[in-house]
Structure 1
Amino acid sequence: MPASFLHGVEVIEVPNGPVPVTVVKSAVIGLVGTAPSWAVESPSVAVAPNTPALVSSALDAAKFGPIVQGYSIPYALAAIQAQGAGQAIVVNVFNPSIHFTAIAATAFSFNAQGAINLGHMGVSNVVVTSNPAGTTYVAGTDYTLDAVNGAITMVPTGSGGHITAGASVLIAFHYADPSKVADADIIGAITGGVYTGMQAFQTTYGTMGFFPKILIAPGYSQDAAVATEIDTMANTIRAMALVDSPPSTAVETAIANRGVVGNAFATSSSRTILCYPQETFYDTGIVPTGVTLSTSGTPVTAQFNANSVGPYSQWVAGAIAAKDLAQGYWWSPSNTQVDGMLGPDVTLYASILDPASDTNNLNAAGIVTVFNAFGTGLRVWGNRSAEYPASTAPDNFISVRRTMDIIEESLELAMLQFIDQPISNALITAILASANAFIRSLIQRGALVAGAASFDPAENPYTQIAAGQLVFDIDVMPPPPAERITFEAFIDVTLLQQLGQTSPITAAAGATS
């Protein structure tokens, strides 16, 4: 504000003109599920339940614990990172103080090494008493507890312990049980300003500066309730929700489920990607009931080391993120090779030549599937969201919908610096210049075929401007994917006229004459 009196000269700097538009992050996966937080090597770095955490590396992934069967997050992070790129915002809903199974006082006997294997990993609330009951033993004085591996070692009487060698004791305990996690835990809620489950994704712009754009809940999104809510969240934060089919679902059942009310596939949302089928993979996960004791009494974990079946969405999400970074968010995820899978858990007939193939029938029903033919490797196959075939609008293409999301959110965020400025021709010009510069850059990169921003006075009557409101038009067209390539072949008999006119025999005869 100018001084009330000045006998001299001053300069007041007034910001004006266009500003750059920063493109929002597209290759960020929102992963909600379960993690064995009780097994994190350094408990001090473990992520608290329902707290969003950014995972950009294997070191970050370690904060959610090792790959243990029954827990979805470590498996999903391994599948995502196998694609070579992409970040994930992870929400672990597993809480061992809530999700556990209680074992009543059960008789155990110490072995020759003075150890007991409880048969479960991730134990808590351990109470050791004499058998028959009467004396309650004290942890640290009478025994030591390996809570991660579920092993108890007696303290010798010569070291102050009160348990005799080979004694039988009664032990009651809880063990971490991910099967106790319900759909409601994954969906989450907002209670007293606390966000849990997938609702916590709404807080990430405030804490990290961006929202996840590819939402997955492997192992849970096959349930209709979770599928519905993850789509709702996708609409809230402008993301795509990846929904799975149950294991061992036949092709015809997956297609039929598109019309079964109450089924996860019964949706026409432009923000839901239907992922079918589930995939086999080599499972090196730790078996939580497989711990044994060595001859010295030391716990030894067991890895499954055999084929298992997992939700397809976790690999598709990784492939989308990796392709975003390598080529751009305007590229379709279809025809992208996927690493870390062994193949679908049902037999699929894949062909780009036969309209009656399983892969084509699935795509025609708006289902993204997996393609495998001679020399192709396993590939994401399908361009369209669940909006197809109910709608044939261009945004049923996954890449078109995602491109529009990026454009819209990027422009909205860039306009923050213009909000509350005095309305003038200079302001309108600056906003248009900013938007059009952004659109031109997208055209040059190939993210748009064409487009422009404009200001129509007819849409901005003086009464509306007097209320502090401006309306601009954005006309753009993202490039649709080349889903179908057709050649028209003709047998042209007139081409036979060329025979003999320039043949080697004719040419040789002319040379000798």
Structure 2
Amino acid sequence: MTYKHGVYCREVPTSILPPRRISAGIPVVFGTAPIEGQDVTDRKINEPVLCYTYSEFERAFGYSGDWEKYTLCEFARSQFGLFGVAPVVFINVYDPAVHTSGDPAEPDPSKVTSADIIGGITDGEPTGLELVDRVFPDFRLIPGIICAPGWSDDPAVAIAMAAKTRQINTLFECCMVMDISTDTVPKYTDVPAFKNDNNLTDANMIVCWPKVRLGDETFHMSTQLAGLMGSIDGLSGDIPYRSPSNSLLYMDSAVAGDKEISLGLEQVNYLNGQGIVTALNFIGGWKAWGNRTACYPSVTDPKDAFIPINRFFSWHSNTFITTYFQKLDWPITRRLIQTIIDSENIRLNGFRSMEILLGGRIEFLEDENPVTDLMDGILRFHTYLTPPCPAKEIINTLEYDPTYLSNLFS
């Protein structure tokens, strides 16, 4: 041992850890883009591309107003041009060299199919929805909302999207937004049956109907809802605890098929009661209308059935993972356990003070940590938290009180 004579200092890890900040509502969007005019070596095909601005999107993919052929352009227009929310991860599955009509020298984006969006593993490389797992390794950003406007109205695509919201990189969780096709289901009364018949009932799934129109532009409602959710998150400290319902959309009419439709409060509430988000023009202009995920009404657990509570649980879980990943493989000591407990309780108390939570706490319970688990290097914490439910009903009881007639004689 080295002989020492003097004054020395050493450092120990901070006992309180600040949380890692993550963006709650980052969309990961799958679709097609007009890349035919680009040099072959510059084409982004089945490759996640992070864009913060409209110009970055155009440089990466080009732009076209033909949104039926090039669905990513619709999302870029809404996200950057209307809601002003960034960033977005875009994934184009259209390959002009593969998706052709007859002569290989005349590319045809209409040859892209739902199977291209769903994707898989081709020659050892992920394609389509499998690329969700590339987002965090590539950009250190956790997916917040999985989108595929123009494609998610295929139930097979929607179910595959819902499956990809869980176990992202084996760790993370998010939600997805989808549409029910107004061409297939033009009447609002038929929408719930289509939803149930096609098993569109996942807790991480947000189902939208109909389309929305602004001037000459028609958007899938899932496109605008994703922008609205990101906008509300931005106004809420990047914490997804508020519902997008009763907030303004950029639209001047609702569209089913080629026709404008008008839905009253009774009709939109019928859709809400079946776990479907829609649009309402009632007081204050056109607004998103609905708080429920697709699992409602068969599942009524607030953690699963309310959009903001479902999203908060996923966000809180993702934040916990990214914050304490740095503590993996440390020796299991009382100091390690107390560091996690203290750090989390400080954060939860802060949420309670800001009324983001009604209450919350984390505990390390002896009966949930058997000796055999501790011997195997396993620590189990238990977090109790209660995000506020959206006030979907406000009721005021009016009663005639005859005692005030005495005021006539004052």
TM-score, normalised to structure 2, is 0.91
In structure 1, list runs of 5 or more residues that go unmatched: 104-124, 126-173, 283-306, 352-356, 502-513
Quickly say closer, same or farther: Cα 1:381–1:39, change in 2 above 3 A: farther
1:182-201 to structure 2, matched below 5 A, reads 182-201=113-132
Provide the residue aligned with 1:143 in structure 2: none
Identity of aligned residues (%): 27
- Structure with more helix by fraction: 2
The DSSP-based 3-state class of the residue aligned with 1:423 is coil
Q: Which residue of 2 aligns with 1:343?
A: 254
Residue 92 (structure 1) aligns with? 92
Which residue of the partner structure matches residue 210 of structure 2? 277
AA of the residue aligned to 1:21: P
Alpha-carbon distance, 1:267 to partner? 2.4
| Residues 341 and 229 of structure 1, relative CA distance in 2, 3 Å threshold | farther
- Are 2:189 and 1:252 aligned? yes
Asked if 1:60 corresponds to 2:56, the answer is yes
The one-letter code of the counterpart of 1:403 is: F
Partner of 1:54: helix, strand, or coil? strand
Secondary structure class of the residue paired with 2:91:
strand
Q: Secondary structure at the match of 2:90?
A: strand
Distance 1:200-1:402 versus aligned 2 partners, 3 A rule: same
Query: Do residues 379 (structure 1) and 287 (structure 2) align?
Result: yes
Partner of 1:148: none
Pairwise CA distance, 1:190? 2.6
Change in Cα spacing, 1:203 to 1:498, as seen in structure 2 (3 Å) is same
Structure 1 CA distance for aligned equivalents of residues 387 and 300 of structure 2: 15
Aligned to 1:73: 72
Q: Which residue of 1 aligns with 2:245?
A: 334
Alignment of 1:27-66 (within 5 A): 27-39=25-37, 43=39, 46-62=42-58, 63-66=60-63
Q: Aligned pair in 2 of structure 1 residues 46, 314: CA closer, same or farther (>3 Å)?
A: farther
Is contact 1:79–1:340 with CA below 8 Å preserved after alignment? no
Assess, with a 3 A threshold, how the Cα gap between structure 1 residues 308 and 68 changes in structure 2: closer, same or farther: closer
The size of the alignment, in residue pairs, is 393
Deviation of residue 444 (structure 1)? 2.7
Q: 1:105-160 deviations in whole A, cap 9, x for unaligned?
A: xxxxxxxxxxxxxxxxxxxx6xxxxxxxxxxxxxxxxxxxxxxxxxxxxxxxxxxx
Which 5+ residue runs of structure 2 have no aligned equivalent?
none
Check the 8 A contact 1:183/1:226 in 2, yes or no. Answer: yes
Which amino acid letter does the alignment assign opposite residue 247 of structure 1? Answer: T
| Structure 2 counterpart of 1:413, one-letter code | T
Separation in 2, partners of 1:446, 1:30: 29
- TM-score, length basis structure 1: 0.73
Q: Aligned pair in 2 of structure 1 residues 469, 482: CA closer, same or farther (>3 Å)?
A: same
Q: Which amino acid aligns with 2:102?
A: A
> 3-state DSSP class of the match of 1:241?
strand
Match of 2:335 in 1: 426
| 8 Å Cα contact 1:38/1:96 also seen in 2 | yes
Find the counterpart in structure 1 of residue 382 from structure 2.
473
User: Is 1:235 aligned to residue 166 of structure 2?
Assistant: yes
**Are 2:31 and 2:72, in contact at CA under 8 Å, matched by a contact in 1?**
yes
Q: Distance in 2 between matches of 1:16 and 1:467?
A: 26
Cα deviation, 1:334-392, whole Å, max 9, x if unaligned, reads 011011554333523222xxxxx11010000000000112x522211100100110111
Asked whether the 8 Å contact 1:202–1:211 carries over to 2, the reply is no
Distance 1:472 1:321, change over 3 A: same
Whole-Å Cα distance in 1 between the matches of residues 327 and 151 of structure 2? 42
CA contact (8 A) 2:44 2:61 kept: no
Question: SS of the counterpart of 1:316?
Answer: helix
Deviates more, 1:8-17 or 1:403-412: 8-17
Whole-Å separation in 1 of the counterparts to 2:106 and 2:264: 44
Residue pairs, 1:98-137, within 5 angstroms = 98-103=98-103
Partner letter of residue 178 of structure 2? V
What CA distance in whole angstroms lies between the structure 1 residues aligned with 2:227 and 2:40? 28
Offset, 1:216: 0.9
Equivalent position of 1:483 in the other structure: 392
- Measured at CA, do residues 489 and 39 of structure 1 come closer, stay the same or move farther in structure 2, by a change above 3 Å? farther
Give the whole-Å Cα distance in 1 for the aligned partners of 2:158 and 2:167.
14
Letter in 2 for 1:329: P
1:57 Cα deviation from its structure 2 partner: 0.8
SS in 2 for 1:379: strand
Q: Kindly state the Cα deviation for residue 200 of structure 1 after the two structures are TM-superposed.
A: 0.9
Structure index of larger Rg? 1
Mean Cα deviation higher: 43-52 or 448-457? 43-52
| CA–CA separation in structure 1 for the residues paired with 2:108 and 2:86 | 30
Instruction: Sort the Cα spacing of 1:192 and 1:445 in 2 relative to 1 into closer, same or farther, 3 A.
Output: farther
SS class of match (1:464)? helix
Q: Does the 8 Å CA contact 2:254/2:262 hold for their aligned counterparts?
A: no
Contact 2:192 2:274 in 1 (8 A): yes
Aligned to 2:224: 315
Higher strand proportion, which one? Answer: 1
